[in-house]
Amino acid sequence: MGSAIFYPALPEMTREFGVSPTIVNLSIALYMLAMSIFPLWWSSFSETLGRRNIYIVSFFLNVVFCLLSGLSVNIAMLIVFRVLSGGASASVQAVGAGTVADVWEPQERGRAMGIFYIGPLMGPMIGPVVGGVLAQYYGWRSTAWFLACYGAIIFIVTLFALPETLPRKKPTVPASQPGPGVDGMPSLSRASSTARSVQTHTRKAAAALKRFFVDPLEIVAYLRFPPILCTVYYSATTFGSLYVLNIAVQAAFSQPPYGFSSDVLGLLYLPCSVGYFVTSVLGGRWIDRIMIRAAERAGRYDAEGRLVYLPEDRMGANAWIAASLYPASLVWFGWTAQRGVHWAVPSAANFVFGLGSMLVFGAVTTMLTEFMPRRSSSGVALNNFVRNILSCTGGIVGQPLIDAMGVGWLMTALGLVCWLSGNLVIWLLRRNSQKWRAQMDEALKNGT
C-alpha cells in the first residue's frame, strides 16, 4: 500500500512542488529501491533475533517515517523520508515469507503462501482507491497520515498478538574455562588475563559488526547458483513490468481522451488487484496439486512411503500459462489505452495481468523457500532485492519512455521481453533444475 496509495496523488504533488512528473515518480521508485535493499538486513536479523522482534522494530520506525513524510516541505524531504519508510516497511516481505515457511509443511505451503500474498496484494488493490479519495478531498498529505495510522494499528496488533515462529536452536555447550592453578590461585597472571579479555572482547565486537553489516550482503552471493538466479530473474522481470504498468495506468487515464480525476483514477487500479486476489485464493491450491502430481508421476517416495517434493515441481502448466498470459495482457492494455478505447477494455487487460503475474509471484516465492529451507527469509529477501531494483528502474524510466514511445509500443516491447524471459527460464529450470540443485546443495555443504 505504501507505494500504490501515492499513484492518484502524483499530479497534485507535481503541481505543489513545482517539479516534473519524473521527479515526483522518484518518491515511489526510490521507495521501491529501499524495499529491495533493507530486507537483506531484516531477513538476516530475523534468523537470529526472531521474526517477532523484527516486526515490532520495523513497524515502529515505519510509523515515524510516514508521519515525517506528511510534514515534507519540499520534494527532497519527501523522497528521503519515503525511502526510510519503505526500508522500514520492507521487513514483512521477507520475514513474512519466512514465518510461513516456519509454520507450514511443503505440501501445503503453496496455498499458505497464496493466502500470505493476499496481504501484500491488498495494498495495490485498496491503496489507489483510498489514495484517490484522500487526495481528491483532503490533499496528498492525508495519504501519509493514513499510512502512519494504519502502521500504528499493525504495530499494536503485532506487539500484543503475534507469537514467535522461528524454531529455537539447540543451545551449544560453552567451552570449559581455564581452571584455578596451584593452591587455588589463577593459572594466568593479571596482565595476561587482561590481554586475553581485551582480545576476546575485540573479536566479539568485530564478529558482531560483521554479522550485522557484512553478513546480510552475503545473501547476494546466492545468485551464483543457477536455480536461484533463474527463479529470481523470472520474478524480477514480472515485478518490474508491474510498476511500468502502474505508471502507464496513471499516465493514460489522467490524460485525454479519458481525463479522469484522482478518485476515479484510483478505482482504475482495482481490476489488476482483483486478478491478484483471485489467483491468491485459487492459484496456491492449484500449484500445490501440480507439485503433488509431479511427485506421484516421478514415483518419488521416502522410506516411510511419503511423497518427496522438489521445488521445480511447481513449474508445471501454471508456469507456462503465466509466461504467456501476463505479457499478452501488457500488449492488450497498451494499444487499447493509446487508441482511447472505452476504459473497460484496458481495465480488463489489467485484470488478466493480475491473474497471470500472481501465478508467477506465488510459485517463485514458494520455490525460493524450498531451494533454501534453512534460510527461507533470506531467499525471499534476495528475491525482493532484485525485483524491487527492477521496479525502481521501471518507476524511473516509465514516464520518459511513455513520452518517447507511446503506451502502445512501450507495452509491446515490454511484453515481448517478458514472454521471452519467462519461457526461457521455465525451460531451463525444468531441464536442469535437479542437476543445478544438487550442485548448489553440495557447494553449500562444503561452504564454497
- What's the mean pLDDT when you consider all of the chain? 84
- Least confidently predicted of 75-84, 107-116, 299-308, 386-395: 107-116
Residue with cell 525511502: 83
- Give the three cell numbers for residue 322: 503465466
Look up residue 363 and give its amino acid. A
Does residue 121 surpass a pLDDT of 70?
no
pLDDT in tens, 323-347: 999 999 999 999 999 999 999 999 9
User: For the chain, what is the radius of gyration of the CA atoms?
Assistant: 24
Residue with cell 473497460: 344
Query: Does residue 226 contact residue 362 with C-beta atoms inside 8 Å?
Result: no
Residue 57, pLDDT score: 94
pLDDT in tens, 354-376: 999 989 988 887 788 778 777 76
- For residues 151 and 438, which has the higher predicted lDDT (pLDDT)? 151
H-state helical runs in 254-316: 262-267, 270-298
Does CATH place domain 4-165+219-446 in 1.20.1250.20? yes
Which range, 224-233, 261-270, 298-307, 390-399, is most confident?
A: 224-233
The domains of the chain are located at: 4-165+219-446
User: How far is Cα of residue 126 from the mean position of the Cα atoms in its chain?
Assistant: 18
φ, ψ (nearest 5 deg) of residue 372: -125, 65
